[in-house]
Amino acid sequence: MKILLTAFEPFAGSPVNSAQRSVELVPDTINGAEVVKVLLPTEFKRSTEAIHKAITEHRPDVVLCIGQAGGRMEIDLERVAINIDDGRIPDNAGFQPQEEKIFADGPAAYFTTLPIKEMTKEICAAGFPAIVSDSAGTYVCNHVMYVLLYYLAKEFPQTIGGFMHVPALPEQVIGKMPPAPSMSKESIASAITVALKVII
């Protein structure tokens, strides 16, 4: 089995991204499955090309995309991605779409094809807070989840995929107005590893 695990580069002026730092710590082999890691640009347009290229190149059985969600207190297993880009801030290319469809020929939404209920249960059992989330937002994270599931439905139906949001790192919330939740990269990496074991 081959798993494609993606993360994003830093954005919004932060020198780090909790998703990137955590994914770096995930083992390259889990229960015999190969884990291929790819860093995506935090840009609406380039991330579309990057996720398609990664799937085409690596031909994974599973794709799990990881994104940072500042302000969230737990690991969020995303249930659905919607066909809309609506940036509350510009992306790393300075692009800030407003209520734009991601794909004109795509449905209003795609649901994850990962076993998120079981993943959530096992992450919690391992000692890390986790929930099923019904909103991936409308920024680049939702964009990538939608693009991923669009391509899987259209071109790679044998592959399953989905998205996980993770909290900020402790160093990212220093000086922030409380409450400013965070989680260590080691804990996030452990939770991702548990999730992948469930999928495997």
User: Is there a catalytic annotation at residue 78?
Assistant: yes
Q: In the annotation, is 143 catalytic?
A: no
The strand pair at 29-30 and 2-8 is best described as: unpaired
* Extended strands (E) in 58-129: 62-68, 75-78, 80-82, 109-111
- Point out the catalytic residue in the list 65, 74, 78, 143: 78
DSSP state of 2: E
User: Residue 157, preceding bond cis, omega within 30 degrees?
Assistant: no
- DSSP class of residue 85? B
Dihedral Cα 130, 80, 33, 184, nearest 10 deg: -30
* Active-site annotation holder among 65, 74, 141, 143: 141
Q: Which residues lie below 8 Å from residue 166, measured CB to CB, with a gap of 6+?
A: 18, 19, 22, 66, 67, 68, 69, 72, 75, 76, 183, 188, 191, 192
Q: For residue 165, indicate whether it is catalytic.
A: yes
Q: Which of 24, 165, 171, 186 is catalytic?
A: 165
The stretches of 126-184 forming alpha helices (DSSP H) are 140-154
**Closest Cα to residue 189, out of 24, 9, 1?**
24
The residues that are catalytic are 78, 141, 165
